[in-house]
Amino acid sequence: NPVRVLICGGGNAAHVMAGLAATRQGVEVRVLTIFADEADKWTEAMKLRGFNVIIKGHRGQPDIDLQANPFTVSKYPEEVVPGCDLVVFAVPAYGHAQYLNAMKPFLKPGSLLVALPGSSGFEFEVNDVLKDVAKSISVMTFDTLPWAARLKEYGHSVEVLGIKKVIHGALHGNCETVFPHDRNAVETLQYLVGEVPVLDVSGHILGITLLSPNAYVHPTMMYAEWANWDGQPVSRAPLLYHGVTDSSIKEMTQVHEEVEGLAKRIMELRPNVDLSKVKGLFPYILEIYEDHILDKSNLKTAFLSNTAYEGLRFPMVATEDGKLSPDFNNRYLSEDIPYGLVVIRGIAEIVGVDTPHIDKVLLWSQEKLGKEFLIDGHIAGKHVPESRSPQAYGMTTLDEILWM
Ligand code: NAI
């Protein structure tokens, strides 16, 4: 029997995941994209011209053009969800709940939901939306997307600009009944994405909620760059990672140390919970981008010399006089706060760990977003329900957070 794989989403990541999976033998690929007319557009383009994933060559290597076998794309969950063994969420975090709600009536017991990437609190949202159904499914979540990817022609071709060396994940649940044969769940997913990145799946699923780097790197970079901005538009967007300074590195390190401290505290309280994936930011960045970092002396040089970060600048919006102002509604805040830093801060509150640096970044970020999550030292602001913090789901104890 083929493994039946459902990919959720209709953007860059969904194109790559579907295309790669559809080059493998013994795999039936289906895509669910519920947004606008994407399913029709994708189906039409694929019917006319087929579907290709182009892996861009590096250092003079030629591009590799992979042709996918035909697959079904639909906007109707009842057409594509029934019978699927593995469901991959390849959409931004704000889309997760819509897909979970859409597929809930059709999910096969024992099936595996994979979030690629998850963003903090994915497992809380699964539990909240699926309720009793969540007990019969397994969840695997990852810290980041395996690829840097960009659509070339909608529904027909997508380019993979870079591939990470390793990505980190964790699995909750027991999905052996669905993967009884030669490949277990992780091996099946590895087979679908190919040899790289290596899918390093271990530890408690909360480890990925805490590890997800966008949660603290993006808001802290925004804070470090713009908290003391004089409000005057600028003529050019500042460099993002290639513009780090001693001060922004210090801010990032302080915030990251609080996340590490939180993971350590949870492991002290629950020695059987493995959150050891949450390690220092420097070793983490080195591991993921090993081949791209030219100067591995320290965290700052690792950012400044990472070729994968070339050309990346802060998100900006144009002003009337033809200049640029920082875009505070960009996903670095609009997604990485509610599906990132607020989640971590909410966990810290329940565990009883103080996070003064996280609080500083969060208070500034929420003000820029016009939202209230942290208020008087608690995750109790009026926009908490828009976040994936434990507080948004009424969780008050560590055991609830740990899904125990
Ligand atoms: P994308 O920007 O291509 O996703 C857009 C897709 O999301 C749309 O095609 C649509 O299917 C869906 N969507 C958009 N608005 C929606 C709405 N209002 N309701 C429901 N669905 C809607 O995202 P991409 O590039 O595929 O990234 C997926 C995730 O991977 C994101 O979290 C992103 O931050 C992350 N990521 C992406 C990288 C890349 O190179 N593309 C690199 C690293 C991480």
Last residue of a domain, one of 185, 202, 219: 202
What share of the chain has pLDDT > 70, as a percent?
98
Q: Are residues 270 and 293 in the same domain?
A: yes
In this predicted structure, what is the pLDDT of residue 145? 96
Q: Are residues 197 and 221 in the same domain?
A: no
Q: Are residues 197 and 227 in the same domain?
A: no
Domain coverage including residue 328? 209-401
Q: Are residues 173 and 240 in the same domain?
A: no
Q: Are residues 175 and 48 in the same domain?
A: yes
Rounded Cα distance, 81 and 137, in Å: 14
Q: Are residues 161 and 118 in the same domain?
A: yes
Predicted complex ipTM: 0.98
Q: Are residues 173 and 236 in the same domain?
A: no
> Could you tell me the CATH number of the domain that includes residue 113?
3.40.50.720
Among residues 237, 231, 201, which one has the least CA distance to residue 316? 237
Q: Are residues 224 and 323 in the same domain?
A: yes
Active site residues: 218
Last residue of a domain, one of 202, 236, 252: 202
Q: Are 136 and 109 in contact (CB under 8 A)?
A: yes
Rounded Cα distance, 320 and 233, in Å: 10
Last residue of a domain, one of 184, 202, 220: 202
Q: Whose CA is nearest to atom 33 of ligand 1?
A: 92
Determine the distance separating the centroid of ligand 1 and the alpha carbon of 92, expressed in angstroms: 4
Q: Are 114 and 140 in contact (CB under 8 A)?
A: yes
In this predicted structure, what is the pLDDT of residue 111? 92
The ligand 1 atom nearest the CA atom of 14: 26
In this predicted structure, what is the pLDDT of residue 180? 58
Q: Are residues 258 and 355 in the same domain?
A: yes
Residues of the chain short of pLDDT 70, as ranges, are 176-177, 180-181, 404
In this predicted structure, what is the pLDDT of residue 308? 86
Tokens standing for residue 125: 């949202």
Q: Whose CA is nearest to atom 10 of ligand 1?
A: 10
Q: Indicate the number of domains in the chain.
A: 2
> Could you tell me the CATH number of the domain that includes residue 247?
1.10.1040.10
Q: Are residues 171 and 236 in the same domain?
A: no
Q: Which residues line ligand 1 (CB under 6 A)?
A: 9-14, 33, 35, 38, 90-93, 95, 98, 117, 144-145, 148-149
Q: Are residues 216 and 322 in the same domain?
A: yes
Determine the distance separating the centroid of ligand 1 and the alpha carbon of 154, expressed in angstroms: 13
Q: Whose CA is nearest to atom 5 of ligand 1?
A: 11
Determine the distance separating the centroid of ligand 1 and the alpha carbon of 177, expressed in angstroms: 31
Q: Are residues 185 and 244 in the same domain?
A: no
Rounded Cα distance, 320 and 89, in Å: 39
